[in-house]
Amino acid sequence: MNMNKKVSFTALFLIVSLIFTMTSGFVFPVSAQKKQVSLTAIVAEPKERWDLLFNTALQKLKQKHPELDIKLDYRVLPYDATRTQILTAMAGKTPIDLISADQIWLGEFAQGGFLTDLSDRAKTWGRQSDWYQTNWDGGKYNGKVYGIWAWTDIRSMWYWKDLLNKAGVNPESLQTWDGYLAGSKALNALKAQGIQPMHLVGASHSPDMWYPYLWMLGGEILKQKSGHPTKGTYWYPSFNSTRGVKALGFLKQQVDAGIKPQVSHFWGQEFADRKFAVMLEGSWLLGTFPRDQWPTINHKVGMLPAFPVPNKNTKSTTMMGGWILSIPQTSQNKDLAWELLTTMVDPSVLTPMLQKEGYLPTQKPIGEGPYAVKLNATIPYYKEMISMIPTAHSRPNIPEYPQIADSIKQAIDEVYYGMKDPKQALNDAAAKSAKALGW
Amino acid sequence: MSNIFAKAEPYLFLTPAFAILLIFLIFPLFWNIYISFHDVSFITILKNWEYSGWTNFVDLLNDPNFYTSLRTTVLFVAGSVALQFTIGMLMAVLLSQKVRAAGVLRAIFIIPWTISAVIAAFSFKFIFDYNFGILNYIFQQIGLQPVGWLSDPNIVIWSLVIANVWYGTPFTMLFITAGLLSINPSIYEAAVIDGATKFRSFLRITLPLLKPFIVINLILITMWSVNFFDLQLVMTGGGPLFASTTASLYMYRQAFEFGLLSKGAAAGLILIIINISVAFVYLKLLKR
């Protein structure tokens, strides 16, 4: 009898389940008719900016496509892991719909066939003219658009007003090489309090902090040259020009003046912790201060939108970084991924994130238009930082760039530690770079 | 038929182990060799791989940074192995005496080995920092000049050795402890009766009986030190001036930072040869 009851219960359960499954399409008609689409993304830390961007952009995308049930799965990884994960995913042909790429990775990814050519889509989109030219060009490789430079950062000079005041150093005087070195000497007394006068980058990204000196003197990292063994015309090192030697000479002067290269880098935290009176650092430095201090930070912390120049007649410049949004070739939803991308960089979506995180725009409607008012009211020194963008430079995005940067870093270290003079160091680095470029 | 099966049975039981060995050791080794003889990089990985012959090995052997990394490896391994072994042996011998709370002390000394290498590396990066590090703070408090633990090319490798010794010594301590526990105590009793001092007993009884453990321990810690690159990658990135770039870090950077997978594979093969040579030398010593 018990067995019969069990069999009956089981049969009844199965029948009910079957009926439910068959009729669920009628009970929840909208869900059943919606096509499920999952978008995946690999992006770099920090996570908060992506949460903000993706949430807003996804809502708008869903509104545009009520017929789709769109889900977004994104992985936020540390910087180095992002590049490795993207490369591993691409090599393994894992479907990924969107990635954030550092501008210097673009050439490597594009040449490896990892990225979708977005040229036609970008043309139809028609927003090219909204971008600052350097930032638009930064998303191109071999004349084709492979990514959209979403936001940027610049490097400028930050200083503690009270420390400079005490030492009798006029901040404006730091804008020339001689003034910078003199300021360093005047601030030497701070060492007794455990505060270093000036920060000098000795970490792996030291080339990034040297390039502005090269550029302000009219030099270039690479130039096009004909006669390449396999490529006809290709890039050739030009950083070892007399301008490059002069630029590296300034770093040597800083070391000779007692400024110690810092091997460890804490991305502005060391400045916020008052370990340094003056620091050339990226605009992300603001993020090391609590948000509630931003409205009054200019009372304590000064910012000069410039790298020191050899003389007052030289125009300063800076280096731009930031993140490019790209669509991998392995994406199975390229059109939808493109829509997501363009929605993310829409000023109405992007501006709140820039405002919250303190990043700088790559497009004129945000940098100069109505949205600029919001950012100007929130981000300290916003106007000054924006003023640097039109004259800022970016690094090459060719596949060989990591090797070239490594050679330049070695040259800088050799000068820092007195092993070679700037000319010899740069010539040796240029020889290695030329080899890496296939010459 | 049953006879054939009976003979094949032991080999059948080895099949799972052999399958794992094949998938995770033999295949990757041969694949590595294959890659090292072709032009494989992040740019060409999805395209046809061209045969490049010995080009990758020639490039490697023509790279002065590779020789620098080999020299750095010798310093790092020699320093690490010597100190890990000496300190580990000392700790094992001392704790094998009738010491109060020896078990608790052993548990405390093992802690470094249980921590992830990356965590240990970050900790030492802060300890050795020129401006913020506790070491230089103490030095300044007692009137000494701060030291460029990670910024001085002449000192940085020894800073890494210190970190590696802190991290790896517990293994030697454990391994030698296991060896000491395998020695019959009655041998020492007999030695005492014969008038042997503790030091003489250690030299004439303990060390000879520990020889197999010592050799295997030396092989393991040497190979681990040769292959270890977490500390260098996190603490210094290989700088300054390649002074802390060991061969394993050089290989990693070639493959994953520069995207030169075949050059990294070639460097990896040379590392394997080094490891096998070292193991061969140690085993020869064991046979003596």
The nearest CA of chain A is from the CA of B221 a distance in Å of 28
A414 and chain B: CB distance < 8 Å anywhere? Answer: yes
A410: which chain B residues are within 8 Å (Cβ-Cβ)? 241-242
Is the CATH number 3.20.20.120 carried by domain A154-320+397-436? no
Name the fold adopted by A34-153+321-391.
D-Maltodextrin-Binding Protein; domain 2 (3.40.190)
Please indicate whether residue B106 or residue A175 has the higher confidence score (pLDDT): A175
A402: which chain B residues are within 8 Å (Cβ-Cβ)? 257-259
The nearest CA of chain A is from the CA of B162 a distance in Å of 18
- Predicted local distance difference test score (pLDDT) of residue A30: 47
A406 and chain B: CB distance < 8 Å anywhere? Answer: yes
| Cβ–Cβ gap A263/B125 under 8 Å | no
pLDDT band at residue A10 using 50, 70 and 90 as cut-offs: confident
The nearest CA of chain A is from the CA of B31 a distance in Å of 16
State the pairing for strand pair A276-282/A148-160. antiparallel
What is the C-alpha to C-alpha distance for residues A182 and A395, in angstroms, rounded to an integer? Answer: 30
- B117-143 tens-digit pLDDT: 999 999 999 999 988 899 999 998 999
Region A160-167: mean pLDDT is 96
- B23-44 tens-digit pLDDT: 999 999 999 999 999 999 988 8
A219 and chain B: CB distance < 8 Å anywhere? Answer: no
pLDDT band at residue B103 using 50, 70 and 90 as cut-offs: confident
pLDDT band at residue B1 using 50, 70 and 90 as cut-offs: low
Phi/psi at A31 (5° precision): -60, -45
Q: Determine the angle formed by the axes of helices A334-344 and A47-64, rounding to 10 degrees.
A: 120
Is the CATH number 1.10.3720.10 carried by domain B62-287? yes
A264 and chain B: CB distance < 8 Å anywhere? Answer: yes
Please indicate whether residue A256 or residue A20 has the higher confidence score (pLDDT): A256
| Cβ–Cβ gap A114/B241 under 8 Å | no
| Cβ–Cβ gap B150/A263 under 8 Å | yes
What is the reported pTM? 0.85
Question: Taking the domains of chain B in order of start, what are their residue ranges?
Answer: 62-287
A93, A141, A264, A266, best to mutate vs chain B, most B CBs in 10 Å: A264
Specify the 3-state DSSP secondary structure of B238.
coil
State yes or no: pLDDT of A427 exceeds 60: yes
Region B16-29: mean pLDDT is 92
The nearest CA of chain B is from the CA of A313 a distance in Å of 35
- Predicted local distance difference test score (pLDDT) of residue B184: 87
Of the partner residues B45, B151, B256, the one whose CB lies closest to the CB of residue A261: B151
- Predicted local distance difference test score (pLDDT) of residue A20: 64
B259: which chain A residues are within 8 Å (Cβ-Cβ)? 87, 108, 399, 402
Answer left, alpha or beta for residue B269, where phi above 0 means left and psi between -120 and 50 means alpha.
alpha
Check whether the bond before B64 is cis (ω within 30° of 0): no
- Predicted local distance difference test score (pLDDT) of residue A23: 58
- Predicted local distance difference test score (pLDDT) of residue B37: 96
Percent of residues, chain A, with pLDDT higher than 90:
74
Q: Average pLDDT of chain A?
A: 91
B259 and chain A: CB distance < 8 Å anywhere? Answer: yes
Question: Taking the domains of chain A in order of start, what are their residue ranges?
Answer: 34-153+321-391, 154-320+397-436
Strand partners, A98: A41
B43: which chain A residues are within 8 Å (Cβ-Cβ)? 108, 111-112, 399
B50 and chain A: CB distance < 8 Å anywhere? Answer: no
Residues of A numbered 278-297 whose beta carbons fall under 8 angstroms of chain B's beta carbons: which are they?
A: none
Region A124-140: mean pLDDT is 93
B241, B260, B263, best to mutate vs chain A, most A CBs in 10 Å: B241
| Cβ–Cβ gap B45/A91 under 8 Å | yes
| Cβ–Cβ gap A204/B151 under 8 Å | no
Count Cα atoms within 13 angstroms, Cβ side, for B10: 1
- Predicted local distance difference test score (pLDDT) of residue B33: 95
Task: For residue A48, give both structure tokens.
Answer: 């908060």
- B204-218 tens-digit pLDDT: 888 889 998 999 999
- Predicted local distance difference test score (pLDDT) of residue A76: 93
- B231-248 tens-digit pLDDT: 999 999 898 988 999 999
Q: Average pLDDT of chain B?
A: 91
Report the residue of chain B nearest A93, measured CA to CA. Answer: B46
CA distances from A95 to A92, A115, A326, A343 (A): 9, 12, 13, 21
pLDDT band at residue B288 using 50, 70 and 90 as cut-offs: low
CA distances from B101 to A66, A334, B88, B89 (A): 69, 65, 18, 18
State yes or no: pLDDT of B187 exceeds 90: no
Least confident of A3-12, B5-14, B72-81: A3-12
B155 and chain A: CB distance < 8 Å anywhere? Answer: no
Please indicate whether residue A252 or residue B284 has the higher confidence score (pLDDT): A252
| Cβ–Cβ gap A112/B46 under 8 Å | yes
- Predicted local distance difference test score (pLDDT) of residue A65: 94
State yes or no: pLDDT of A45 exceeds 60: yes
Region A170-179: mean pLDDT is 96
| Cβ–Cβ gap B43/A409 under 8 Å | no
> In this structure, are residues A42 and A77 in contact, taking their beta carbons and an 8 Å threshold?
yes
- Predicted local distance difference test score (pLDDT) of residue B202: 86
Residues of A numbered 42-71 whose beta carbons fall under 8 angstroms of chain B's beta carbons: which are they?
A: none
- Predicted local distance difference test score (pLDDT) of residue B239: 84
Helices assigned H by DSSP within B37-149: 55-61, 64-96, 102-114, 117-127, 134-141
- Predicted local distance difference test score (pLDDT) of residue B9: 84
| Cβ–Cβ gap A263/B130 under 8 Å | yes
Percent of residues, chain B, with pLDDT higher than 70:
99
State yes or no: pLDDT of B182 exceeds 60: yes
Of the partner residues B46, B153, B253, the one whose CB lies closest to the CB of residue A417: B153
Answer left, alpha or beta for residue B98, where phi above 0 means left and psi between -120 and 50 means alpha.
beta
**For chain B, first and last CA: distance in Å?**
46
Strand partners, A148: A325
A82, A200, A263, best to mutate vs chain B, most B CBs in 10 Å: A263
Neighbours of A182 (CB within 10 A): 15
State yes or no: pLDDT of A266 exceeds 90: no
Please indicate whether residue B190 or residue B82 has the higher confidence score (pLDDT): B82
- Predicted local distance difference test score (pLDDT) of residue A15: 76
| Cβ–Cβ gap A112/B42 under 8 Å | yes
Region A201-227: mean pLDDT is 95
ipTM of the complex: 0.81
